[in-house]
């Protein structure tokens, strides 16, 4: 029941109609009996500054920020978490007494999903990360904050992998991050413990596996962050009986961490996951 005391959270993006976040957050508020509501708000780029100002004016508890505002929002905020600073993008704003603090829960959600859903310990692991876009950047930062031994970074666009590597080397021992081209992928995958797909390859049913299935071995854990279909990479992993996960865990856990920042309560992960799969 929405009352005069109900606290409001939401998500700003453009477009936004497709967002699954209202489903999972409203289910979580209901489960814990919290007097909160979560709404999706279409905010065009030219309206972003006014929308951010409205968080204070309307006393919203907090919002998620999604495409295309994750970077543009930064100068409009009062402060950033260390993750948001390192990643250079914000997906969560917490409203604390008139101050707007930007955070980024994508990489942390990925790490929590690896640890809690898949029981993977990152310390000392060698990781191949394919895709140096927004998601790859968040994941790369969080991996390096979790004591991996080596990060092999591949992107089809050489300038993108090089540029992300420069930023990642500034937050970790520089020799932990190596950029690799197509020709070096087989050796890197052979050495790796974990392979991550952070590209959109696999979203269309006609897409091939992002790496040649012949390179996949039982030693690997494969995490494909695409969450709305089974990609050719995951199909190949399952055929070969290699441990693997899709992006649903990352999606739920990034939402759970935002939820916890706004409410101070432990998120009901199972309920949030169920709401997404309904």
* Least gap, CB of 247 to ligand NAP (angstroms): 3
Cβ proximity to ligand NAP: between 103 and 106 the closer is 106
Q: SS3 sequence, the chain? A: CCCCCCEEEEEEECCCCCCCHHHHHHHHHHHHCCCEEEEEEECCHHHHHHHHHHHHHCCCCEEEECCCCCCCCHHHCCEECHHHHHHCCCCEEEEECCEEEEECCHHHHHHHHHHHHCCCCCCCCEEEEECCCHHHHHHHHHHHCCCCCEEEEECCCHHHHHHHHHHHHCCCCHHHEEECCHHHHHHHHHHCCEEEECCCCCCCCCCCCCCCHHHCCCCCEEEECCCCCCCHHHHHHHHCCCEEECCHHHHHHHHHHHHHHHHCCCCCHHHHHHHHHC
* Least gap, CB of 2 to ligand NAP (angstroms): 28
Cβ proximity to ligand NAP: between 95 and 201 the closer is 201
Cβ proximity to ligand NAP: between 95 and 168 the closer is 168
Q: Which residues are catalytic?
A: 70
The residue count for binding ligand NAP (CB under 6 A) is 26
Cβ proximity to ligand NAP: between 22 and 133 the closer is 133
> Binding pattern to ligand NAP, positions 125-164, x when CB under 6 A?
-----xxxxxxx-----------------xxxx--x----
In the structure encoding, which two tokens stand for residue 102, read together?
């930007």
247 binds ligand NAP (CB under 6 A): yes
Q: Which of 27, 93, 225, 257 binds ligand NAP (CB under 6 A)?
A: 225
Part of the chain binding ligand NAP (CB under 6 A), chosen from 48-56, 73-81, 97-105, 248-256: 248-256
Q: Which of 16, 23, 128, 250 binds ligand NAP (CB under 6 A)?
A: 250
201 binds ligand NAP (CB under 6 A): yes
Q: Which of 227, 240, 243, 271 binds ligand NAP (CB under 6 A)?
A: 227
Torsional class of 97: left (φ above 0), alpha (ψ -120 to 50), beta (otherwise): left
Tell me the C-alpha distance between 255 and 265, whole Å: 13
* Least gap, CB of 187 to ligand NAP (angstroms): 16
Cβ proximity to ligand NAP: between 9 and 89 the closer is 89
Part of the chain binding ligand NAP (CB under 6 A), chosen from 7-15, 52-60, 143-151, 220-228: 220-228
Backbone dihedral angles phi then psi of residue 160, each to the nearest 5 degrees: -70, -45
Name the residues that contact ligand NAP, by CB under 6 A.
Answer: 106, 130-136, 154-157, 160, 198-201, 203, 210, 225-227, 247, 250-251, 254
């Amino acid at each position: 029941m929405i009352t005069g005391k109900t606290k409001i959270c939401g998500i700003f993006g453009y477009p936004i109609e497709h967002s699954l976040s209202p489903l999972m957050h409203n289910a979580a508020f209901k489960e814990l009996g919290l007097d909160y509501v979560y709404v999706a708000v279409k905010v065009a780029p030219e309206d972003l500054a006014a929308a951010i100002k409205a968080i204070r004016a309307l006393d919203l508890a907090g919002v998620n920020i999604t495409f295309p505002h994750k970077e543009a929002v930064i100068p409009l905020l009062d402060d950033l978490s260390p993750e948001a600073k390192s990643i250079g993008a914000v997906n969560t704003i917490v409203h604390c007494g008139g101050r707007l603090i930007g955070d980024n829960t994508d990489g942390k959600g990925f790490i929590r999903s690896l640890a809690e859903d898949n029981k993977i310990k990152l310390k000392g692991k060698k990781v191949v990360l394919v895709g140096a876009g927004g998601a790859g950047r968040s994941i790369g930062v969080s991996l390096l904050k979790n004591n991996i031994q080596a990060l092999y970074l591949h992107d089809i666009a050489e300038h993108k992998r090089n540029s992300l590597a420069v930023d990642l080397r500034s937050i970790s021992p520089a020799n932990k991050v190596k950029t690799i081209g197509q020709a070096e992928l087989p050796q890197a995958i052979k050495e790796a413990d974990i392979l991550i797909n952070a590209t959109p390859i696999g979203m269309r049913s006609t897409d091939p596996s992002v790496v040649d299935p012949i390179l996949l071995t039982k030693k690997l854990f494969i995490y494909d962050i695409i969450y709305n279909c089974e990609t050719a990479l995951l199909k190949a992993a399952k055929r070969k009986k290699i441990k693997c996960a899709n992006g649903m865990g990352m999606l739920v856990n990034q939402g759970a961490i935002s939820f916890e920042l706004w409410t101070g309560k432990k998120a009901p992960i199972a309920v949030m996951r169920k709401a997404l799969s309904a």
